[in-house]
Amino acid sequence: MSEWKTSACILCECNCGIEVQLGGEDGREIVRIRGDKAHPASRGYLCQKASGLNYYQNGKDRLTSPLRRKSDGSFEAIDWDTAIREVSERLLSLRDKEGGERIFYYGGGGQGNHLPGAYASGLRRVLGMQYRSNALAQEKTGEFWVNGMMFGAHVKGDFEHCEVAIFLGKNPWHSHGLPRARAWLRDFSKDPDRTLIVIDPVVSETAEFADIHLRVKPGTDAWLLAAMVGMLVQQGRYRADWLAGHSTGLEPVLAAFADVPVQQYCDIAGVPLSQVQRAVDVISGAGSVAMAEDLGIQMNRHSTLVSYLEKLLWVLCGQFGNPGGQYVPASLQNIAGSGRSSRRSPVAGAPIISGLVPCNVIADEILCDHPDRYRAMVIEAANPVHSLPDSRRFAQALRSLDTVVVIDVAMTETARLADYVLPAATQYEKWEATFFNFEFPDNYFHLRKPLFDAPGYALPEAEIHARLVEAMGAMPEQLVMELNAALADGGREAYRERFMRALAQEPGLVDLAPVILYRTLGPSLPEGAAAAATLWPVALGFAMREPESLRRAGFDGEPMVRGEALFDAIVAQHSGLVFARDEYADSWARLGNEQKIRLDIPELLDELQVLAAGAAELTSAEYPFVLMAGERRDYSANTIYRDGDWRRKDPEGALRISPQDADRLGIASGDRARVTTRVGSALARVAVTPRMQAGHISLPNGYGLDNEDGSRSGVALNELTSLGDCDRFAGTPHHKIVPARVEVVA
Ligand SMILES: Nc1nc2c(c(=O)[nH]1)N[C@H]1C(S)=C(S)[C@@H](COP(=O)(O)OP(=O)(O)OC[C@H]3O[C@@H](n4cnc5c(=O)[nH]c(N)nc54)[C@H](O)[C@@H]3O)O[C@H]1N2
Ligand SMILES: Nc1nc2c(c(=O)[nH]1)N[C@H]1C(S)=C(S)[C@@H](COP(=O)(O)OP(=O)(O)OC[C@H]3O[C@@H](n4cnc5c(=O)[nH]c(N)nc54)[C@H](O)[C@@H]3O)O[C@H]1N2
Ligand code: SF4
Ligand SMILES: [Mo]
C-alpha cells in the first residue's frame, strides 16, 4: 500500500480535501479514502459519496483512444496527431465557410474541474466562436441576473456565523453547497439560540432539522415569498434607517408590496398564515440571517422572480455586509460572471446572461433553417445529451450538425453522438482545480496534484488545447520563443515584463494567454505542474484587485511580489490554502453600484402583478401529479460516476410517492410503475414515503445512464422533460414541476 496522498473529491462544489492510498493492479486504483484534516475548508469532513471515487478513476466507460466516426456510424481509433489535425482542419474550414460564430462551445468544467474552460479560451478565440453555454445556464443564470442588478456582484450567505439560516428549495444534507454540511446541520440545530427555516414541499433530511418548515405546495414559492415580503412591508418590519443609508429604489418596492394579499398568497402556497407570520417574526427580529436558494426554486415556476423575492426578504431586514448576513466573496476567477444580459442568442433571441446562452434554446437554434443556426459544437467536460431537457431532441440536434467534437474521460451519451471524441486525462491524472471559492471571511483555493501519471492515450485539456491552437497555426511562435528566452535569462520577473508588454501591444492575446503560458511558463513549474500556468495571471490579477485580503492571508510585499508568492504557494500547497482573509466591510467595497444595493428591478416588480391572477394548476386529469425531475439523494452524483455498482442503496433511483397517493393507486414500495409526461415515459421502482406530499412525486438526478449493452438502471430524466417549460427571463427549465401521470405495471 502506498503512502497517503492528498487530493479532493470532485462530486460537488465543496471539493472536500481527501487523502488516498493507491493500490490494485500497477498501483492504478484508489483503494482507501479519508478526509484530509489539513484542508482548510473541509477539515477532514467527507460524505459517503466520496468513498466511490475509484468508480470515477477506473470507470468502465473510460475512453482509451481518440475516436473518429466512420460513415457507417461506428467509431474507429485514431492517433492523436491525426485527431488534432482533422479536428483543426474541419473546424477551420467551417469557420471560413460559415463563420466562427456558428460553432458553439458547451461545457468547460463540472463539479471538480474548471481548468478545461480556461484553456479553451484560445480555441474559441482562434475560431471566432461567439456563443457558449454550460450547466449554469439551466440553474443559476436567473439568480446571477438578479445579483447583477441588485449588487453588481455574486452574493452568498454567512451560514457559519448566522443566528437564523434559511434554505429555500435546497437540501444541503444531500447536495451540500456549504462546507461540512451535515456536521453544520447537526451543530446548528442543537444550538438553542439559532433557528433553521426550510422552505420545501418535501420533508427533506434538511427539513427534519428545521425549527420552522414551510411545507409549500410545489411551484408556489413566488406566492409564499411575495406574502413574506408583503408582511415586512405592510407591518413596517423593514429596516428603514439602514436601507436609507445603504440602498436605492426603496419607494417602488414599498409601493409594489403595499397591497399584496398576504392571506390569499399563503393559501395559494398551502402554508398556514400563522406559520408564515412566525417565520417573518423570527427573520425580522434576528441579529443575523443567512439565506440560500437552490434548484427547488431555480428549476421552477417564476424562478427569476423568486430569486429576487428571496433577496428582498433579507435585504429589507438589513442582512448584508454584517457577520452572519450575506457577503460578496473574494474571487480569484468569477465563474458567475457579471449577471449582465447584453446580448441575445442568434436564432431564438434569448437573453445571454453572464455570457451563457440559455440551455433550453440550444437544440432549437440547431434544428431550424435559420441562416444563423449553429453548425458545429465543441463539448468539453459535460454530458448535455443526458443533462439538458428533452434528450431525444438534443440528440437529434447533435446528429444534424456538421461537426461535433467531444472532450471527455468517458464514452458518454453525448460522446456517442460525436464525430470526434478526444480522451482527457482524469482529474486524478492531471493538475486540476475549481473556482467554486465562495467562503468568507477566509476564502480557499485548492490546486490538486495528480495522483497518477496520465496513461499514454489520454491528455490533459491544457495539452489538447495547446495542440489544437498550434495545429490551427495560431500559436504566436515568435512570442513563445521570446518568452522562453526571457524566462531562461531573467527569471520570472523578466518573463512577466515581456508577457505584460505583449498583452499591452495586443490585448486580443488575453484569450490565447492560457495556452501560451502553458507552453512557456508551464515547463518551468515544479513537479510537472505545467497546467497550473494559467493560474499565474489569475494570482497576479488577484493581488492587484485585492491587496489587503491577500496581505491578511499572509502574503506580504509589493502587489506583484505578493501575486507571485500566491502563485508559488498555490502550486506548492497540495491540501489547499487561504488566499483571502476578508473583513465584513470588503463586501461593501465589492458592490458594483457605488457601494449601494439597488432594491428595485422594474421588470420583476411588474412581474409581481402576474401573481395576482392566482396560480394556474400544474396538473390536469391526464397528468394529475407534479414530478420533481431531479432530486439529490445519497447515491446521485450528476453523471460523474457512470458505473451503477457504486450505489449501496436505491440502485434504480426509486420513484418516491406519498402514502395517500400510493393507497389511491393501489401501489406499494417495490412495485413497478410507469411515469408518463407530455414528452416521454419511463418505468420506475416505487418507494412510498411520508416525505412526499399528496400529488407530488420525485425521481433522482444522475441515474439512467446507458450501458454499452443498451441496458440502463434508473430513469434518464430528461427523456421526460421539455424545452418549452422554462423561465420567461432566464430560460431556466421547470424540472421541479413536470406534469406527470403514474400507472401501475403488473
Ligand atoms: N448527492 C448529490 N449532491 C449533489 C448533486 C448530486 O447529483 N447528488 N449535484 C450537485 C449539483 S450540480 C447541484 S446544482 C446541487 C443542487 O442541490 P439542491 O438544489 O439542494 O438539490 P435538489 O435535490 O435538486 O433540490 C433541492 C430541494 O428542492 C426541493 N423542491 C422541490 N420542489 C420545490 C418547490 O416547488 N419549492 C421549493 N421551495 N422546494 C422544492 C426538493 O424537495 C429538494 O429538497 O447539488 C449538488 N450536490
Ligand atoms: N432533469 C434534470 N436535469 C438536470 C438536473 C436536474 O436536477 N434535473 N440537474 C442539472 C444540473 S444542476 C447540472 S449541474 C447538470 C450536470 O450535467 P453536466 O454539466 O452535463 O455534467 P455532469 O453530469 O456533471 O458530467 C460531467 C461530465 O464530465 C466528464 N468528466 C469528468 N472528468 C472530466 C475531465 O477531467 N475532463 C473532461 N473533459 N471531462 C470530464 C464526465 O465523464 C461527464 O461526462 O445536470 C443538469 N440536468
Ligand atoms: S460533500 Fe461529499 S460529494 Fe461533496 S465534495 Fe465533499 S465528499 Fe464530495
Ligand atoms: Mo448543478
Task: Looking at the structure, tell me whether residues 180 and 319 fall in a common domain.
Answer: yes
pLDDT score at 402: 97
Q: How many CB atoms lie within 10 A of CB 59?
A: 18
**pLDDT score at 594:** 86
Q: Are residues 208 and 320 in the same domain?
A: yes
Q: Which atom of ligand 3 is nearest to the CA of 11?
A: 3
Whether residues 193 and 311 share a domain: the answer is yes
| Closest protein CA for atom 19 of ligand 1 | 295
The 10s digit of each residue's pLDDT in 514-573 is: 999 999 999 999 999 999 999 999 999 999 999 999 999 999 999 899 999 999 999 999
C-alpha cell recorded at residue 658: 406519498
> Mean pLDDT over all residues of the chain?
97
Would 362 be classed as within a structural domain? no
State in Å: Cα 204 to ligand 1 middle.
Answer: 10
Which atom of ligand 3 has the smallest separation from the CA of 46? 7
Q: 516 CA to middle of ligand 2, Å? A: 28
**Gap between the Cα atoms of 608 and 261, Å rounded:** 12
Regarding the beta carbon of 182 and ligand 1, being less than 6 Å apart is answered no
How far is it, in rounded angstroms, from Cα 470 to Cα 85?
10
Q: What is the pLDDT of residue 708?
A: 86
Any bridge partners for residue 310, and if so which?
none
CB 243 within 8 A of CB 282: no
Residue 68, C-beta contacts closer than 8 angstroms, at least 6 positions apart = 75, 76, 78, 82, 83, 86, 419, 420
CA of 436 relative to ligand 3 center, distance in Å: 13
Q: State whether the beta carbon of 296 lies less than 6 angstroms from ligand 1.
A: yes
- Ligand 3 neighbourhood includes 39 CB (under 6 angstroms): no
* Ligand 2 centre distance from Cα of residue 387 (Å): 6
Q: How confident is the model at residue 244 (pLDDT cuts 50, 70, 90)?
A: very high
What's residue 124's pLDDT? 98
Ligand 1 centre from 172 Cα, in Å?
8
Report the distance separating Cα 127 and Cα 104, nearest Å.
10
Residues 164 and 312 in one domain: yes
Question: Each residue of 694-725: b (16+ CB within 10 Å) or e?
Answer: ebbbbbbbbbbbbeeeeeeebbbbbbbbbbeb
pLDDT (average), residues 488-507: 96
Domain assignment of residue 54, yes or no: yes
Tell me: do 37 and 182 sit in the same domain.
Answer: no
For residue 11, report the distance from its CA to the centre of ligand 3, in Å. 6
Residue 283's Cβ-side half-sphere holds a number of Cα atoms within 13 Å equal to: 32
Phi-psi region of 738 (alpha: psi -120 to 50; beta: other; left: phi over 0): beta
Report the CATH number at residue 28: 2.20.25.90
SS3 content of the chain, % helix, strand, coil (to 5): 40, 20, 40
Residue 513 has pLDDT above 80, yes or no: yes
pLDDT, average across residues 319-328: 98
What does the pLDDT read at residue 250?
A: 98
Centre a 10 Å sphere on the Cβ of residue 370 and count the other Cβ atoms it contains. 13
2 has pLDDT over 80: no
Question: Which residue's alpha carbon is nearest to atom 13 within ligand 2?
Answer: 135
Nearest ligand, CA of residue 640? 2
Ligand 3 centroid–CA 75 distance in Å is 35
**Quick check: 365 and 94 in contact, CB under 8 A?**
no
Instruction: Give the pLDDT score at 746.
Output: 81
Q: Which amino acid is at 444?
A: Y
Q: Looking at 284, 300, 327, which one is the last position of a domain?
A: 327
What ligand 1 atom has the least distance to the C-alpha of 637?
7
Q: Are 166 and 248 in contact (CB under 8 A)?
A: no
**Residue 323 belongs to domain spanning:** 156-327
Distance 550 CA to ligand 4 centre (A): 30
pLDDT 10s digits, 110-126: 999 999 999 999 999 99
Which of 304, 327, 350 lies at the terminal end of a domain, its last residue? Answer: 327
**570 near 540, Cβ under 8 Å?**
no
Q: Which of 200, 656, 738 for mutating ligand 1's site (highest number of atoms within 8 Å of CB)?
A: 200
C-alpha span between 472 and 459 (Å, rounded): 18
Nearest 5°: the CA angle 643, 105, 82 is: 75
| Residue ending a domain, choose from 266, 294, 327 | 327
Are 164 and 15 members of one domain?
no
Name the closest ligand to CA 269: 1
Q: Would you say how long the chain is, in residues? A: 746
CATH number of the structural domain spanning residue 323 = 3.40.228.10
Task: Indicate whether 387 belongs to any domain.
Answer: no
Evaluate whether 76 touches 68 at the Cβ level (below 8 Å). Answer: yes
Q: Residue for cell digits 455574486?
A: 154
**Per-residue burial over 185-199, b = 16 or more CB atoms within 10 Å of its CB, e = otherwise:** beebbeeeebbbbbb
Q: Are residues 322 and 191 in the same domain?
A: yes
Position in ligand 2 atom list of the atom nearest CA 702: 23
**Is 195 in the same domain as 323?**
yes
Provide the terminal-to-terminal Cα distance of the chain, rounded to the nearest Å: 50
Pairing assessment for the beta strands 195-199 and 164-168 based on DSSP bridges: parallel
702: phi > 0 → left, psi -120 to 50 → alpha, else beta; which? left
Distance 692 CA to ligand 4 centre (A): 23
Residues 185 and 303 grouped into a single domain: yes
Domain assignment present for residue 591? The answer is no
Q: Is the CB of 219 under 6 A from ligand 1?
A: yes
Whether 1 is in a domain gets the answer: yes
- SS3 label, residue 304: helix
For 200, phi then psi, to 5°, come to -165, 135
Question: CB neighbours of 7 closer than 8 A, spacing ≥ 6?
Answer: 17, 18, 19, 20, 428, 448, 449, 451
CA–CA gap between residue 594 and residue 510 (Å, rounded): 28
pLDDT digits (tens, 9 = 90+) for 661-712: 999 999 999 999 999 999 999 999 999 999 999 999 999 999 999 998 889 9
The arrangement of strands across the sheet holding 212-214 comes to 212-214, 195-199, 164-168, 289-293
Q: Is 633 helix (H, G, I), strand (E, B) or coil?
A: coil
What is the structure's pLDDT at 657? Answer: 98
Residues touching ligand 2 (Cβ under 6 Å) are 110-111, 113, 116, 135, 138-139, 295, 380-384, 387, 407-410, 412, 424, 426-427, 461, 629-630, 638-640, 701, 717-718, 721, 735
Residue 83: its H or E element: helix 80-98
Q: What is the four-CA torsion angle of 453, 457, 463, 466, rounded to 10 degrees?
A: 170
- CATH number of domain containing 722: 2.40.40.20
Mutation to probe ligand 3, out of 18, 19, 37, 47 (largest number of atoms < 8 A from CB): 47
Query: Within a 10 A sphere around the Cβ of 484, how many other Cβ atoms?
Result: 17
Determine the distance separating the centroid of ligand 1 and the alpha carbon of 455, expressed in angstroms: 36
The ligand that comes nearest to the alpha carbon of residue 170 is 1
- Axis crossing angle, helix 273-285 with helix 221-234, rounded to the nearest 10: 60
Q: Quote the ligand 1 centre to 191 CA distance (angstroms).
A: 25
Q: Are the C-beta atoms of residues 6 and 40 closer than 8 Å to each other?
A: no
User: 436-494: per-residue pLDDT in tens?
Assistant: 999 999 999 999 999 999 999 999 999 999 999 999 999 999 999 999 999 999 999 99
Interval 326-362: pLDDT, tens: 999 999 999 999 999 989 999 999 999 999 999 999 9
Cβ contact 382:395 at 8 Å: no
Number of domains in the chain: 3
Cβ 195 under 6 angstroms from ligand 1: no
45-86 residue pLDDT tens = 999 999 999 999 999 899 999 999 999 999 999 999 999 999
- What spacing in Å lies between the alpha carbon of 137 and ligand 2's midpoint? 13
556, exposed or middle or buried, with CB in 10 Å at 0-12, 13-18, 19+? exposed
Give the bridge partners for 19, in sequence order. 6, 34
The candidate with the shortest Cα–Cα distance to 28, out of 428, 415, 345, is 428
User: How many C-beta atoms lie closer than 10 Å to residue 659's C-beta?
Assistant: 12
The verdict on residue 239 lying in a domain is yes
Which residue is closest in CA terms to ligand 2's atom 40?
381
Name the closest ligand to CA 639.
2
Note the pLDDT of residue 36: 98
Q: Is residue 245 part of a domain?
A: yes
Beta bridge partners of 741: 676
Report whether pLDDT(283) > 90.
yes
In a domain, 691, yes or no: yes
User: Residue 1: pLDDT band by 50, 70, 90 thresholds?
Assistant: low
- Name the DSSP class of 639: B
Residue 219 CA: nearest ligand 1 atom is 35
Pair 582, 443: CB distance under 8 Å: yes
Residue 176 near ligand 3, beta carbon < 6 Å:
yes
Which DSSP string corresponds to 315-326? Answer: HTTT-BSSTTSE
Report the pLDDT value the prediction gives residue 536, as an integer from 0 to 100: 98
Distance between Cα 134 and ligand 2 center (Å)? 9
Cα dist. 658→132, 147, 220 in Å? 41, 36, 19
Q: Which one, of 59, 13, 16, 162, lies nearest residue 429 by Cα?
A: 59
